[in-house]
Amino acid sequence: MRNRTILLAATALGAVGVPAAARAQSAEDQAARIQALEAQIQQLQQAVSDLKAEQAKQAAVESDGPSVTWKGAPQFLDKEAGWSFKPRGRLMYDFATVSSPDGISNPGLGFSNEIRRARLGVEGTIPGDFGYKFELDFAAGEVEFTDAYLSYASGPVEFIVGQHNNFQSLDELTSSLHSSFIERAAFTDAFGFERRVGVSAQYAKGPLVVQGGIFTDSITDLNAAGDDNNSYGFDTRLVFSPTMGSNQLHFGGSYHWRDLNDAATSVRYRQRPAVHTTDVRFIDTGNILGAEKETGYGLEAAGIFGPFHVASEAYWQRVGRSGFSDPTFFGAYVEAGYFFTGESRGYKGGKFDRVKVKKPFGTEGGYGALGVNLRWDHLDLNDAGIIGGTQNAYQASLNWKPVDYLMLGLNYAHILYDDAALSADGDRDYSIDMAGVRAQVDF
C-alpha cells in the first residue's frame, strides 16, 4: 500500500510540470526506498519465524513437566519427575431371564438383575520406574479387593507384587470391559480362576510374552477367619502373537499347579447358566473329597482380521486326591465376531483390549461401533466317578458402543445339559434359555 502511495505521488508531481531531471532523480529515490522496505519486510518475516520456532521449543520443554491429559478420566502426569496418577472405575448393570425346565421350581430362575461390577480405584507410576494399581469392588454390597499391587518395569521386563490375575486363559485375562459376552467362557469361572496375592514376572518384547508367578490365596480368603487359607501355587503362560500384514494372530499355552495345603478337604466346580444374575447352577460336581492339588493345562488361539475375529481355547483341570482316583475335567469354547461398522477388536500384551470406535455417536455420520458375536461353550464335569454334568451352550451377542467408554449388550444362550446336577422330575437331560442385557460405563 505504501509503495502504491509513493508511485501515485510521483505521478502527480510529473503532471504539474516537474522538470524531467527532477522526476528521474525522484524515481531513483523511490526505487531505493522500495528496496529498503522489502529488506525490512524480509527481516520481519525471519524474526517471526525465529519466534515461532522458539515458542515450539519452549512448548516441547514444558510438555515434559506436569500436565493433565484425558484417558477416559483425567490423568495427572509429570514425565520428568516420574509421577502419574489416574482415577479409574467401572459400572456394569445386568438384567436377565433364565427359563425353568419342567419339574424344576426355583426362585432364582425367571427374571433377575444385579449390579455386576461397581469398581473404583487408582493407578499410576512412581519415580524409579515403579508403578501401582489399587481397585475396590462395591457390587456385592460389601467392599472386595480386585487389583492391589506394586510393580517395577525395566525395559521388556515387569515385576509385580500383590493381588493380581494369575496367568490362566486368554478369556480370563481379557478385561470384563472388553469381553464379547456378558460372562466369560464357562470353564474360567467353574475352575475357580481369580486374582490372588503373589509375586510374578513378565517378559514382553515383540510378539513374545512370557509370564510366571507364585501365588497364595485372594486377599478376601487370606483375611477370613481361621488359618486354613494357606494354599500356594505356580502359574505360567507363554504367548506368541505375530502379525501378518494388518492381521493379528495369537497362540498361547498356560500351566497351573496349586497345593491346597490345609484347605485340602474338598474342592467344588460349578457354573451358572451364562449369566451371573442367578445363583442357580445346573452343572455342579458337589464337594470333591480328598482333594489335595490342582493341575491345569490350557491352549489358546485367536486371530483378528480387520472387522472379523476368531478365538478358541481348551482347558484341562486335574484334581489330585488322597485315597480316590484323580478326575480330569474339561472346558473349551470357539467364538467368532464381526463389526458391521468397520472396527477391529483391540489387542495388546497377549490379550484382547479396548475397541476404538471409528465414528462416535453424536458426531457427523457417527453411530458408534456395532458388532455381533457367536460362541459355542462346552464344559464337562464328569470323570472318575464324579457326575457334575456337561453343558453345550450356543450363544449370541450384539454389542453397541456409542463411544469408547460406553457399551450396551444383548445376549442370548440356548444351553443343553446332560447329567445335570438338578433333577427335573427325574430327568437330568434338558435345555434352558437365557436372555440378558448389560449396560456398562468405565473411565
Do strands 195-205 and 283-284 pair parallel, antiparallel, or not at all (unpaired)? unpaired
Q: Which residues contact 98 (CB under 8 A, 6 or more apart)?
A: 108, 109, 110, 112, 273, 275, 278, 280, 432, 433, 434
Residue 11, pLDDT > 90, answer: no
pLDDT tens per residue, range 360-381: 999 998 999 999 999 999 999 9
Q: Which residues contact 88 (CB under 8 A, 6 or more apart)?
A: 72, 73, 119, 120, 121, 122, 123, 135, 442, 443
The pTM is what? 0.84
pLDDT-based confidence at residue 263 (cuts at 50, 70, 90)? low
* Distance in angstroms between the alpha carbons of the first and the last residue of the chain: 57
DSSP-assigned letters across all residues of 384-405? TTEEEEEEEEEEEEEEEESSTT
Average pLDDT value for the chain: 90
pLDDT tens per residue, range 167-200: 999 999 999 999 999 999 999 999 999 999 999 9
Between these two residues, 65 and 182, which has the higher pLDDT value? Answer: 182
Q: What are phi and psi of 7, to 5 degrees?
A: -65, -40
Q: How many CB atoms lie within 10 A of CB 350?
A: 24
pLDDT tens per residue, range 94-137: 999 999 999 999 999 999 999 999 999 999 999 999 999 999 99
- Grouping H, G, I as helix, E, B as strand and the rest as coil, residue 20 is helix
Question: Among all chains, which residue has been given the C-alpha cell 483390549?
Answer: 353
**CA 350/CA 353 separation, integer angstroms:** 9
Q: Which residues contact 293 (CB under 8 A, 6 or more apart)?
A: 257, 258, 259, 260, 264, 319, 320
Question: Among all chains, which residue has been given the C-alpha cell 515385576?
Answer: 159
- What nine digits make up the cell of 59? 512448548
- The C-alpha R_g of the chain, in whole angstroms, comes to 33
**Amino acid 13: pLDDT:** 37
